Amino acid sequence: MTIHEIRTKYLKFFEERGHVVIPSASLLPENDPTTLFTGSGMQPMVPYLLGEAHPQGVRLADSQKCFRSQDIEEVGDNRHTTFFEMLGNWSLGDYFKEEQIPWMFEFLTQTIGLDPQNLYVTVFRGNAQISKDEEAVGIWKKVFSDVGIEALDVDFSERDGMQGGRIFYYDETKNWWSRSGTPDKMPVGEPGGPDSEMFWDFGMDLGIHERSEFKDLPCHVNCDCGRFLEIGNNVFMEYKKTEDGFERLPQKNVDFGGGLIRIAAALNGNPDIFAVDAFQTAKEALESLSSASYESSPEITRSMRVILDHVCAATFLIGDDVFPSNKDQGYFVRRLIRRAVRFGKKLGIDTAFVSEIGSLYIREYQKDYVHLKQKEDRILEELAREEEKFSKTLLKGEREFEKMFSQKGKISGEDAFILYSTYGFPIELSEEMAEEQGQHVDRTIFMEEFRKHQDLSRSGSTQKFAGGLADHSDATVKLHTATHMLHQALRTVLGEHVEQKGSNITSDRLRFDFSHAEKMTQEQIQAVEDLVNQQIEKDLLVHFEMLSLEQAKERGAIGLFEDKYSELGDQIKVYFIGDEATGGSYSKEVCGGPHVEHTGILGHFKISKEESASSGVRRIKAVLE
């Protein structure tokens, strides 16, 4: 069964149970400055989990594109990718555990045919504030019993391993879910809750545990040996962090997330997720380009896995208008492509290949992600351009290496880091070239320098993305409303080609990325400022209406994405600044909110900076004084 067949069956399964199928959100988070990328299925749903009404109702299902930049270094084993699709179903204050657990069991064992004998689950052990999830255990026991399996529940102990159990109690480090991790790390206002994870057992016969570095320890479902693979997580999100601990949300929510490729791997009975169909044509192309078999050696296998994941991720990111650059999201696209090129050289590929592999992924996914085909020329152009740039970078790095070596007779760990940070020259190449000269690079020193750099980057990122719409503070809500007014002012001054390409709003300032090829003149910047301030002075009414896509278009709303709102019957939220009945609206834009009720309270709007964000995209930073 292909991943596309599994995706279709999943969405149909929940559609038949009263769910509205919604499209995937962008990999660029909308109005969420706490993170650079959409890294989980629940991320776009946070406002609705907190109680805001979703325009499509209380039962929803989707397949959400996700990218996790923190997993880049993990890619190369048989189960990590940076890009993945998360199958999701949502209950926003409607059904709960009694429906969710049997439905998931039915989908996995009957709809797609996984053997229940190979399914294991974990549940929340409880803590000082929230009790043990015995309710979920009781439901799991019943569904297993209905297919003739006695499911023993045990309190997990790493020392004792499986203990003959099928249902395992773990603590909050494993069976609690929020965007921030464990309860102690959650900021005030963040939703979360206990979860119940589902694991697929590839079986003892493959000898996976016995061949792993963990062979001397008891195996268990969360063991890192790879015998067990998590294929889905039922999150029972009913709590919100407060200053004093936790309080219950206004509604009980279900947030299910299941890795599409991982489910396909379970169906294949193969623990290598790169053996699923979605990677097949790209893998064959790499084998042809390198004249090497995927399984010919562990090093070749690892190199091909890195390329397979990274090019796929870069293709989808560029498809969502994230272009290679040295900052923010673009940095990660650049890093993905450059790592793919480097591992291509390890395979002996001396010709340009990244765009060729990217085109295969576009062909693979174009039916379900139409925008990839629509943007194919731009995607392939960006992939090819970045590969060419990096090839030149490698030549510069090699020259600098030779210069350093001729001056010092060696390459220190600090030198290797300078080559890496300044020229993008990989540490592995510094090591290889040093070994050819009979020298050794001190990787420990290199890593110390690298960690210092990471700590500085994290500090900057934390400061840059702190606060924002997630806290719904007055200052942030005001700036969010001003962003809509800025968007319209840009379209008035520069032209209707201007479209939002991303935003980041904290309580101190707004940042707005938009499509425009040229640097704005000072006169244009002043004209935009003046337009926004004129609307503030008019003290315009701000309100929203629920409209269909067709109605929103007829009313002149902007921010409409055809791949996101494909059905004319879908109800979407459109915010109006200004009253159409008394002189017309200044701004009409699709948005989830929140906003102020009238513009007069915003203060004075001031643009503090206008700069390039990436190719064809400009960036404005502004404040309210």
Query: Can you give the pLDDT at residue 458?
Result: 52
Q: Are 153 and 165 in contact (CB under 8 A)?
A: yes
Query: What CA–CA distances, in Å, run from 471 to 33, 46, 507?
Result: 10, 11, 9
Question: 399, 430, 465: which is the final residue of a domain?
Answer: 465
Tokens standing for 25? 């959100």
Please state the φ and ψ torsions of residue 254, each to the nearest 5 degrees.
Answer: -110, 130
Residue 555 lies in a domain: yes
Tokens read off for 431: 């090591």
In angstroms, rounded to a whole number, what is the distance separating the alpha carbons of residues 45 and 470? 12
Is 378 inside any structural domain?
Answer: yes
Residue 532: give the domain boundaries.
469-624
| Lowest pLDDT segment from 98-107, 194-203, 330-339 | 330-339
318 and 459, same domain (yes or no) = yes
Cα–Cα distance for residue pair 125/132, rounded to 1 Å: 5
Compute the distance between CA of residue 446 and CA of residue 245 in angstroms, rounded to an integer: 42
Give the number of domains in the chain.
3
**Which segments of 245-391 are extended strands (E)?**
245-259
CA distance 65 to 394: 32
- Rounded to the nearest angstrom, the gap between the alpha carbon of residue 239 and the centroid of all alpha carbons in its chain is 23
In the chain, the percentage of residues whose pLDDT exceeds 90 is 59
Q: Which of 465, 485, 510 is the last residue of a domain?
A: 465
Which of 239, 273, 307 corresponds to the end of one domain? 273
CB-CB neighbours of 16 under 10 Å: 8
Are residue 160 and residue 50 in the same domain, yes or no?
Answer: yes
Contact 168, 121 (CB under 8 A): yes
**262 plus 134 within the same structural domain:** yes
Instruction: With beta carbons less than 8 A apart as the criterion, state whether 239 and 190 touch.
Output: no
Q: Which residues, including other chains, have CB under 8 Å from residue 464's CB and lie 6 or more apart?
A: 504
The dihedral region occupied by 489, where left means phi > 0, alpha psi between -120 and 50, and beta the remainder, is: alpha
User: What's the CA gap between 277 and 264, in Å, rounded?
Assistant: 9
Nearest to 579 by CA among 545, 554, 529: 545
pLDDT digits (tens, 9 = 90+) for 575-585: 889 876 666 78
Q: How many CB atoms lie within 10 A of CB 51?
A: 14
Whether residue 194 has pLDDT greater than 60: yes
246/283 Cα distance (integer angstroms): 48
Contact residues for 8 (Cβ-Cβ < 8 A; gap 6+): none
Q: Are residues 85 and 319 in contact, defined by beta-carbon separation less than 8 angstroms?
A: no
| Residue 29: CATH number of its domain | 3.30.930.10
Q: What is the pLDDT of residue 543?
A: 85
Convert the pLDDT of each residue in 323-365 to its tens digit.
Answer: 998 778 888 999 899 889 989 988 999 899 999 999 999 999 9
Lowest mean pLDDT among 33-47, 196-210, 302-316: 33-47
Instruction: Report pTM.
Output: 0.73
Residues 471 and 58: their CA atoms lie apart, in Å, by: 23
Task: Note whether 473 and 461 are same-domain residues.
Answer: no
The H helix count followed by the E strand count for the chain is 17, 17
Q: Which of 4-8, 42-46, 91-95, 606-610 has the lowest mean pLDDT?
A: 42-46
Residue 563: what pLDDT?
A: 45
Spatial strand order of the sheet with 500-505 comes to 500-505, 510-515, 617-624, 605-614
Q: Cα 510 vs. chain centroid, distance in angstroms?
A: 22
Point out which residues pair with 153 in neighbouring strands: 167
Question: What b-and-e string marks burial along 558-578, b requiring 16 or more CB atoms within 10 Å of the CB?
Answer: bbeeeebbeeeebbbbbbbbb
108: which DSSP letter? I
Same domain for 104 and 250, yes or no, is yes
Same domain, 320 and 415: yes
Q: Residues 306, 253: one domain?
A: no
CB 372 within 8 A of CB 318: no
Tell me, yes or no, whether 491 and 406 share the same domain.
no
The owner of tokens 């040229």 is 518
In a domain, 282, yes or no: no
Same domain, 429 and 507: no
In a domain, 284, yes or no: no
Kindly give the residue spans of alpha helices, DSSP state H, lying in 347-375.
Answer: 354-365, 370-374
- Domain identity same for 316 and 446: yes
CATH number of the domain encompassing residue 568: 3.30.980.10
Pull the structure tokens for residue 368.
């379900």
C-beta of residue 58 within 8 angstroms of C-beta of residue 507: no
| 350 and 447 share one domain | yes
- In this structure, is residue 280 part of a structural domain? no
Separation CA 356–CA 286 (nearest Å): 10
CA 135 to chain centre: 31
Q: What is the pLDDT of residues 412-458, one digit of tens each?
A: 999 999 888 777 787 877 887 888 889 899 999 998 888 777 666 55
In a domain, 213, yes or no: yes
Based on the domain organization, do 171 and 262 belong to the same domain?
Answer: yes
